[in-house]
Structure 1
Amino acid sequence: MNIQLINPSDGGVLNKTPEGLTQNGLVIYPCKNGAYRIVKDDNYTENFGYQWNKFAGTQVDKSSALSISKSRFFAESQWDKEDLGGKNILEVGSGAGRFSQVVLDFTKGNLFSVDYSNAVEANYKNNGPNERFNLFQASIYEMPFAPGQFDKVFCFGVLQHTPDVELSVKTLIDMVKPGGELVVDFYPINGWWTKLNAKYIFRPYTKKLTHEKLFKKIEKNIDWLIKTSRFFSKIGIGKLTNRFLPICDIDGTLPQNLTKEQLREWCILDTFDMFSPQYDQPQKISTVIGWFNKYGMKGVSGKYVHFENCVAPVVRGTKQ
């Protein structure tokens, strides 16, 4: 592994112990429930900690008996699982560990996984302990790693939820070693109509609700919303009308082989994920490509990647 850990507050060398990360013999950042805690739970990602601890196994393939996380990881990264053996891989924004599980179960890479929320607890329950698994609760802007050490860095489903997306991209690039690769995905801007959507219309209100109150509202209304969305799709007007329904995009973002119970669970989860984040900042592929080039990446490319029933804009590049 040989990854140098540093204190993000002063750059000092950190050492791993069972009790936590130590500096000059003192525990600076404790290890709790399998994760080294660089930050506290009360930050702008509290909603993600709430949702991923509540839905810890929903999107994890080995719990759901699906393969969408595996399909998405390899489709977006384009990495060969055999080539990842012994490589140091950084995952930023791991949530409940859906992609952590894929890396640990289908490759022999060493995984360093970071999330700002206490979803790290769900991740550890799903994927720990494992000698190749290193889990940290830390900000994307203050990760406990000396720069330029990782062979592979990926950030899926996260960038749009950070306060400064350009700075987030720069920080990720800083972590990549020369010759290493970075792959990111994000919510796309498809035109002026992107924000003409229930998600953006209602979010100024919903993000102010407590997590518990928002969850109860969604759970109470999800059944009729699913039926209405499905009805509009069946009669051929779903693409026009469903964007105004306060429910996730069933046709465009969810696996199509879900049981009735799984569909309800995924809809509650993804609808909560729509309305609860503090930040939701979609981006153009060309903008993200520009940032990759600006901060020292080469061979940069961006395109829409399809996996199962879904599609996501993905940008990739290699560190110069």
Structure 2
Amino acid sequence: MTPPDIRLINPSNKKPLKVQDGQLIDDDGNSFPLKEGAYRFVQDDNYTANFGFQWNKFQKTQIDRFQRTVDQSRERFFAVTKWDKIDLTNQNILEVGSGAGRFSQIVLNHTNANLYSVDYSNAVEANFRNNGPHPRFHLFQGSVYDLPFAPAQFDKVFCFGVLQHTPDFKRSVGALVEMVKPGGELIVDFYPVKGWYTKLHAKYLLRPFTRNMNHETLLSRIEANAGWLISASRFFDTIGLGRIVNRFLPVCDIRTTIPRELDKTALREWVILDTFDMFSPAHDHPQRLDVVGQWFKSFGLTEVEKLTIPYGDGNTVTAVRGKKPTT
């Protein structure tokens, strides 16, 4: 059941929703079913279908509790948010773009907060298999632009690894800001534009072709080439040319994004997943840190911080945080 202090609404007409017969329904009789652990406000066939495919395929790959030697998600979550586990007790947290639930698991297992988690794709099914059912976990399939919550209710809102994959980055930020209650906090991370060379990269050179490929076909080609690409990437790192040459290899950045503790089998799985994640999204819009910081201010947030945050073994995250004024 959804706690009564969070008001759910029909995103289309803004009318309140109530739970009835296993679904959400408004006074006009519009209903939204509960299916495989998530209330569904959108259809699966949308611009995030690739993410639904990948997270249901790689359901456990990035979930800390399924990895023997890796706790990258926990390290990243608390490094980026700087949130205190005790202070989060009984707070209402909104997570937008939850995928298979790598960060949902961290909130549920390491805090006593109530988590409302949204994804536009049917990755919600993988998230529920990983993290549900749970009394503090409330899962929804919906759009960042049409969230099923009345505005200004959440103590904390976070959105990790998502905004660059939405059609309109700035509009997405505005939609998230609307969910934060006075005195609450929003934090997002994203792919940064670091210079003129950012898009001089295999990902952006090949994406005009790969983003339109059948998902199974793209995945099979990545799987077929993963072995030699891993070897090549490591070879160029060894001889000191990795920073220059590897950006033109059609494979994820193994040196900075893949945990070093992985065994050979797990490494291959992570590389295939992250490489598919590079080439399959319909949208990939990196942003300048200063620009996103200005957007936070333009939407009325204060105490805006523009951050480059280290975590784990040499990884960094680009993020912006801000607070909504109490008056």
TM-score bracket, shorter-length normalisation: over 0.9
- Which of 228, 249, 252 is the matching residue for 2:232? 228
1:62 maps to which of 65, 82, 87: 65
What is the aligned counterpart of 1:187 among 163, 166, 191?
191
SS in 1 for 2:51: helix
The offset of 1:99, in angstroms, is: 0.2
- Aligned with residue 242 of structure 1, among 230, 246, 251: 246
**Residues 85-96 of structure 1 correspond to what in structure 2 (within 5 A)?**
85-96=89-100
Report the counterpart of residue 315 of structure 1 in structure 2.
320
CA distance in 2, matches of 1:99, 1:173: 20
Aligned to 1:285: 289
Q: Match of 1:141, as an amino acid?
A: Y
Task: Report the TM-score, using the length of structure 2 for normalisation.
Answer: 0.97
Of the three residues 220, 226, 238, the one matched with 1:216 is 220
Question: Which position in structure 1 is the counterpart of 2:38?
Answer: 35
Question: Residues 62 and 27 of structure 1: is their aligned pair in 2 closer, same or farther, counting only changes over 3 Å?
Answer: farther
Gap regions ≥5 residues in structure 2: none
1:312 deviates by 1.0
Structure 2 equivalent of residue 172 of structure 1: 176
TM-score by length of 1: 0.99
Secondary structure of residue in 1 paired with 2:197: helix
Query: Could you tell me which residue of structure 2 aligns to residue 49 of structure 1?
Result: 52
From 252, 256, 274, the counterpart of 2:260? 256
Q: Which amino acid aligns with 1:19?
A: G
What's 2:14 paired with? 11
Matched-pair contact (CA < 8 Å) for 1:68–1:308? yes
- Measured against aligned partners, the alpha-carbon deviations of 1:104-129 in whole angstroms (never above 9, x if no partner) come to 00000000000000000000000000
Query: Residues 218-238 of structure 1: CA distance to partner in whole angstroms, max 9, x if unpaired?
Result: 000000000000000011110
Structure 2 residue aligned with 1:20? 23
Are positions 1:300 and 2:304 aligned together?
Answer: yes
| Residue 109 (structure 1) aligned with residue 113 (structure 2) | yes
Task: Find the aligned partners of 1:41 and 1:76 in 2 and give their Cα distance.
Answer: 30
Query: Is contact 1:20–1:27 with CA below 8 Å preserved after alignment?
Result: no
Contact 1:20 1:28 in 2 (8 A): yes
* TM-fit CA distance, 1:25: 7.9
The more displaced of 84-93 and 9-18 is: 9-18
* Mean CA deviation greater in 177-186 or 252-261: 252-261
Percentage of matched positions with identical amino acids: 57
Q: For 1:201, what is the secondary structure of its paired residue?
A: helix
Give, in whole Å, the separation in 1 of the partners of 2:204 and 2:228. Answer: 21
Counterpart contact for 1:18–1:31, Cα < 8 Å: no
State the partner residue of 1:73.
Answer: 77
Shift of 1:15: 1.0
CA distance in 2, matches of 1:291, 1:26: 38
Cα deviation for residue 18 of structure 1 reads 5.7
CA 1:225/1:295 → structure 2, altered by over 3 Å: closer, same or farther? Answer: same
Question: Aligned partners of 1:211, 1:81: CA distance in 2, in Å?
Answer: 38
- For each residue in 1:77-122, what CA deviation from the matched residue of structure 2 results, as whole angstroms up to 9, or x when unmatched? 1100110000000000000000000000000000000000000000
Tell me the matched-pair count: 320
Q: Which deviations, in whole Å up to 9, do the C-alpha atoms of 1:180-239 show, x marking residues without a partner?
A: 000000000010000000000000000111000000000000000000000000111100
Counterpart code for 2:261: N
What is the CA–CA distance in structure 2 between the aligned matches of 1:253 and 1:297, rounded to whole Å?
31
Q: In the alignment, residue 46 of structure 2 is paired with which amino acid?
A: N
Q: Report if the CA contact (8 A) 1:179-1:318 is conserved.
A: yes
Q: Give per-residue Cα distances to partners, 1:224-278, cap 9 Å, x unaligned.
A: 0000000000111100100000000001111111111111000000000000000
| Structure 1 ranges of 4+ moved more than 2 A | 24-27
- Residue 26 of structure 1, CA deviation: 3.9
Residue ranges of structure 1 left out of the alignment (5+ in a row): none
- Residue number in structure 2 paired with 1:196: 200
Amino acid at match of 1:179: G
Give the aligned residue type for 1:280. D
